């Protein structure tokens, strides 16, 4: 059984794809939680655009939850892989236990904070009196499932880190299919609208979380989640947070960008352009999906071989991951550029949103293949424990490039709302190049020192 999940043998490409394919499918299914909600909500009779805009306004709050799941899940899983590669099973088990405890504690804090601050936050994020009721209805129910969201996202990484990619996919599959079934029942059958979408999501996430914990505490895993290991160990927590800060900052900065974009778009173009950005964010999630699948599949392989001292395999894994990511994003750019109406109509058939969305989509996704370099560089830093580099480039692209451009470009040359959408491709070219080139130089030096 151990040999089956040993990333130090066999073809690197096969090791990565064996994890990446089921992980990509799992992420596709996981994406369906929110995407299906938006698709159904975007077709609610007589309220589609306002309801869709309302859901878009809740995305920063949901992103913050994901950020904390990343902080502990994405911080703990690579350390877990490195420890497992070095035959340190006790340390690996303690890392997993500490991560689980922190996910539970942070979920409780986030839920309470969310209920206390939801009204001022939603208006800060760009809500109007017309869209606030939809946003409030959705997030009020969604917050009740914070713990389920955190556990299903954060702990599933430890299933994948042990080589059980298909089981990790099944973890998400269970909840996602429940969500697809429950959404139309609650939204249209029980006439609950956005409340029904949120309730369906909470129930579905609960099912996923129960499955994940059940599997990790069962007999099939290589290293079990045990109660005796769930005491938070400060030293391990510091390492987890240090490495997970990259994923945390990436998610938080995504939330900051969403807030700034919504606020500027509401000022320059009104609610309709906030709705457009909701659609673009949804399409972006779809196009990034296979890339995150490849990078997430590569991380355990890179970390395991680094921990085992097999540095040639580390370099081979980085090369394979980078090339595949570039090819995938080139294909995504072509599809989005040639068929923008198809992607927009998935979420709404309103003529006003379609007319505003097509030109915005062509600008927003220009040169998206450069984002692959950011993904590849960032994932390598995380897999090898380069926490400071990972954090810096998370901040660099979003906070240092996107936010200032989003605030400034609308005032230059009469760009208006198009200036907001133009900030994304500029950041992809600048941030992606800087991150990838730094990764090449830094990793080469680290591996050379390790060999010597």
User: Nearest-CA neighbor of 100 among 73, 63, 82?
Assistant: 73
Residue 190 CA to residue 375 CA, distance in Å, equals 41
Cα–Cα distances in Å, from 215 out to 90, 91, 162, 348, 394?
A: 19, 20, 12, 39, 32
Residue-level pLDDT at 251: 79
The pTM (predicted TM-score) of the whole model is: 0.71
The pLDDT value recorded for residue 214 is 93
pLDDT one-digit tens code per residue, 134-183? 999 999 999 999 999 999 989 988 998 888 877 877 887 888 888 888 98
Residue 224: partners with Cβ closer than 8 Å, 6 or more residues away: 93, 216, 217, 218
Structure tokens at 384: 């090898």
Which two three-digit tokens encode residue 91?
């340390």
Q: What tens digit of pLDDT does each residue of 320-369 get?
A: 999 999 999 999 999 999 999 999 888 877 888 889 999 999 999 999 99
Task: Mark 287-310 as b/e (b = at least 16 C-beta within 10 Å).
Answer: bbbbbbbbbbbbbbbbbbbbbbeb
- pLDDT string in tens for the chain (452-residue length): 334 456 777 888 888 888 788 767 766 766 666 677 777 777 777 666 788 788 888 888 888 888 899 899 888 988 998 888 888 889 999 999 999 999 999 999 999 999 999 999 998 888 888 889 999 999 999 999 999 999 998 998 899 888 887 787 788 788 888 888 898 899 888 888 889 989 998 999 999 999 999 999 988 888 999 988 999 999 999 999 988 887 787 778 878 888 899 889 988 988 889 889 988 988 888 888 888 889 888 888 888 888 888 888 888 999 999 999 999 999 999 999 999 999 988 887 788 888 999 999 999 999 999 999 999 998 898 888 787 887 788 788 888 999 999 999 999 988 999 999 999 999 999 999 999 999 999 888 877 766 55
Please report the pLDDT score of residue 1 as a whole number: 36
pLDDT of residue 26: 62
What is the distance between the alpha carbons of residues 203 and 371, in angstroms, rounded to a whole number? Answer: 34
> How many beta carbons lie within 10 A of that of residue 428, not counting itself?
24
Closest-CA residue to 157 (of 147, 146, 168): 168
pLDDT at 47: 62
Confidence at residue 449, expressed as pLDDT on a 0 to 100 scale: 65
Q: Kindly report, residue by residue over 237-265, the tens digit of the pLDDT.
A: 999 998 888 778 777 887 888 889 988 99
Task: Give pairs for 413-418: CB < 8 Å, separation 24+.
Answer: 416/268, 416/269, 417/265, 417/268, 417/269, 417/273, 417/360, 418/359, 418/360, 418/363
Euclidean distance between CA atoms 189 and 348, whole angstroms = 20
């Amino acid at each position: 059984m151990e040999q089956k999940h040993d990333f130090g043998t066999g073809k690197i490409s096969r090791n990565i794809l064996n994890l990446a394919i089921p992980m990509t499918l799992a992420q596709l299914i996981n994406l369906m939680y929110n995407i299906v909600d938006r698709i159904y909500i975007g077709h609610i009779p007589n309220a589609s655009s306002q309801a869709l805009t309302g859901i878009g306004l809740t995305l920063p709050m949901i992103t913050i939850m994901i950020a904390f799941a990343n902080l502990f899940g994405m911080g703990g899983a690579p350390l877990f892989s490195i420890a497992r590669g070095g035959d340190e099973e006790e340390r690996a088990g303690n890392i997993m236990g500490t991560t689980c405890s922190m996910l539970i504690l942070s979920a409780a804090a986030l839920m309470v904070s969310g209920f206390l601050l939801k009204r001022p936050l939603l208006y800060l994020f760009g809500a109007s009196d017309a869209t606030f009721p939809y946003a409030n209805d959705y997030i009020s129910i969604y917050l009740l499932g914070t713990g389920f969201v955190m556990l299903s996202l954060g702990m599933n990484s430890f299933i994948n880190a042990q080589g059980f990619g298909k089981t990790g996919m099944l973890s998400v599959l269970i909840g996602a299919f429940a969500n697809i079934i429950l959404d139309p029942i609650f939204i249209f059958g029980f006439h609950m609208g956005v409340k029904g979408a949120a309730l369906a999501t909470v129930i579905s996430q609960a099912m996923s979380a129960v499955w994940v914990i059940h599997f990790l505490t069962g007999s099939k895993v290589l290293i079990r989640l045990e109660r005796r290991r769930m005491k938070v160990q400060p030293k391990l927590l510091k390492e987890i947070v240090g490495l997970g800060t990259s994923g945390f900052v990436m998610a938080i900065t995504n939330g900051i960008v969403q807030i700034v974009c919504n606020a500027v778009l509401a000022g320059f173009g009104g609610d309709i352009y906030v709705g457009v950005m909701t659609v673009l964010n949804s399409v972006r999630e779809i196009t990034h999906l296979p890339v995150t699948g490849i990078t997430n599949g590569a991380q355990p392989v890179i970390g395991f071989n680094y921990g085992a001292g097999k540095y040639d395999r580390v370099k081979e894994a980085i090369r394979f991951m980078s090339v595949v990511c570039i090819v995938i994003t080139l294909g995504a750019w072509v599809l989005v550029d040639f068929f923008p109406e198809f992607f927009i109509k998935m979420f709404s058939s309103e003529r006003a949103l379609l007319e505003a969305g097509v030109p915005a989509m062509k600008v927003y996704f220009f040169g998206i293949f450069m984002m692959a370099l950011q993904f590849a560089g960032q994932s390598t830093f995380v897999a090898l424990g380069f926490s400071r580099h990972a954090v810096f480039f998370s901040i660099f692209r979003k906070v240092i490039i996107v936010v200032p451009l989003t605030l400034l470009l609308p005032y230059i040359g009469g760009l208006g709302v198009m200036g907001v959408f133009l900030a994304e491709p500029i950041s992809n070219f600048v941030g992606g190049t800087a991150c990838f080139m730094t990764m090449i130089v830094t990793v080469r030096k680290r591996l050379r020192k390790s060999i010597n």
